[in-house]
Structure 1
């Protein structure tokens, strides 16, 4: 009888401890938002201009780039190499590209899978903020060690059914790594992106360094130089231009 009582007490104590320490998805996301500056501060951002350089080690390239973001879900990214520009854009409804390195400098509409991908990237708030309203789902998978840092692991199922795995610093609630699938040149790849060099920009914490790997190989690194908050941006910038005209 005493043994049963002790076992029951141990089970109760374990469950009580888990109740105290377990965090819901909403609680984790709330701390993530607060760590990045707070909901009101982040929602006050209506547009952004980001400059930096992207290195592609396998090809020995370094490409300066500029990214423009604007609510709702508009993005324009331009990278330059040898005087030519590679452009990726989304106007809130449809995406398009200009890739002179493929032999055609005319703007081309994106494929359906590419549009699903860039629609997520064009979200100025990121996938975690207001995730329920966006149709995403988040599951807290628990804590684990990530290269010596304790992290909270999240499984994020996007509205389009793509899955991302997020690793948040368990103390500071900033993102250290995101694992996802992406489409490159018509092929699907598993990508692991790490984030570092966080800096404060007008009250918000933002990563200025990113590194993407697939199968352990670095495919690109990005170093941000400047982030401008709320520049004036005309919607026409994000629309696909007529063939023969310059965006």
Structure 2
């Protein structure tokens, strides 16, 4: 079970969570919510600008230059729990450390150029192609302020329901990678969910990441609970603390060196 769990934790969702992967089961994530009645819709600029203001505003967001979060994760389907530590730093450096009891440490990072994974099962690997492009985009520190440039096209698709929550649904098309669907709370303006694809060791995985329990961290609203729904499983991340402007060494984000095995002297 721990081996399969590691696969799920290898795919980088650097900005908002630990990882996503391809589950062994084949059931699909919950379908997109049904459209609400037709009504006048806001523009892309209005939705994204309201999102920035809902978080605390451009000035408050720009005051942050680093971030560290500590918490726990749970995967009910596996009966698995563990700890997670997230590091991020301007302009686009990020690292995640996941401790899985009975398996070991799963680490991943992006130093601004190189995206890497390190775990007891697969060892140290480096991302390339679309996976590298996604890691770079997800690692952007002031991402909320750069959404219009990080994605080449945004489109408002409608107003829908997520449970009892009214949301505006937007599609975001990156230069490289699959189209993503973003859901913004129609009342508060905060981001409620993102549906996306991410590449992993077993292929492309579809994930629905819901952001909940927003709290104020030095003037910026931050989700302290993230729920990721994948085929056959759900990852629940709960942050106990999130701190801004903490000192983080650049070495935290750099791909580790591979230590060659010791050799036995002959003769």
Shorter-chain-normalised TM-score: which range?
A: 0.7 to 0.9
Displacement of 1:226 after TM fit? 0.7
Counterpart of 2:21 in structure 1 is none
Structure 1, residues 2-43: CA drift from partner, whole Å, max 9, x if none?
Answer: xxxxxxxxxxxxxxxx7xx44211111110000001011111
Q: 2:56 aligns with which of 33, 37, 41?
A: 37
Give the alignment partner of residue 80 of structure 2, picking from 61, 77, 89. Answer: 61
Indicate whether 1:187 and 2:203 are aligned. yes
1:124 aligns with: 141
2:129 aligns with one of 100, 112, 126: 112
Q: Distance in 2 between matches of 1:145 and 1:134?
A: 27
Measure, in 2, the Cα distance between the counterparts of 1:82 and 1:196. 26
SS at match of 2:207: strand
Higher RCO structure (Cα 8 Å, ≥6 apart):
2
Question: For residues 77 and 178 of structure 1, what CA distance do their matches in structure 2 show?
Answer: 20
Once residues 203 and 87 of structure 2 are traced to their aligned partners in structure 1, the CA distance between those partners, rounded to angstroms, is 26
> SS of 1:239's equivalent?
coil
More strand by share: 1
Q: Which runs of 5+ in 2 are unaligned?
A: 1-38, 261-267
54-63 vs 71-80, greater mean Cα deviation: 54-63
Kindly state the Cα deviation for residue 147 of structure 1 after the two structures are TM-superposed: 1.2
1:209 and 2:221 are equivalent in the alignment: no
Do 2:130 and 2:176's aligned partners in 1 also have CA atoms closer than 8 Å?
no
Instruction: Give the gaps of 5 or more residues in structure 1.
Output: 1-17
Cα RMSD (Å):
1.9
* Selected match of 2:42 from 4, 13, 23: 23
Question: Is 2:248 aligned against 1:233?
Answer: yes
Preserved contact between residue 130 and residue 177 of structure 2 (Cα < 8 Å):
no
Cα offset for 1:161?
4.0
Q: CA offsets, 1:197-239, max 9 Å, x none?
A: 1111111111111111124x43311001111101112222211
Give the counterpart of 2:154 among 124, 138, 150: 138
> In the alignment, does 2:235 pair up with 1:220?
yes
Q: Distance in 2 between matches of 1:29 and 1:81?
A: 36
* Bigger helix share: 1
Flag the 1:158–1:22 CA change in 2: closer, same or farther, 3 A: same
Q: 2:185 aligns with which of 166, 169, 181?
A: 169
CA displacement, residues 56-105 of structure 1 (integer Å, 9 cap, x when unaligned): 22322112011100111111111112372111000011111111133x4x
* Residue 86 to residue 61, structure 1, CA distance change in 2 (3 Å): same
Instruction: Note the C-alpha offset of 1:120.
Output: 2.6
TM-score, scaled to structure 1: 0.83
CA contact (8 A) 2:134 2:177 kept: no
Tell me if structure 1 keeps the 8 A contact 2:137–2:150: no
Partner of 1:94: 114
C-alpha separation between the residues in 2 aligned to 1:227 and 1:156? Answer: 27
* Larger-Rg structure: 1
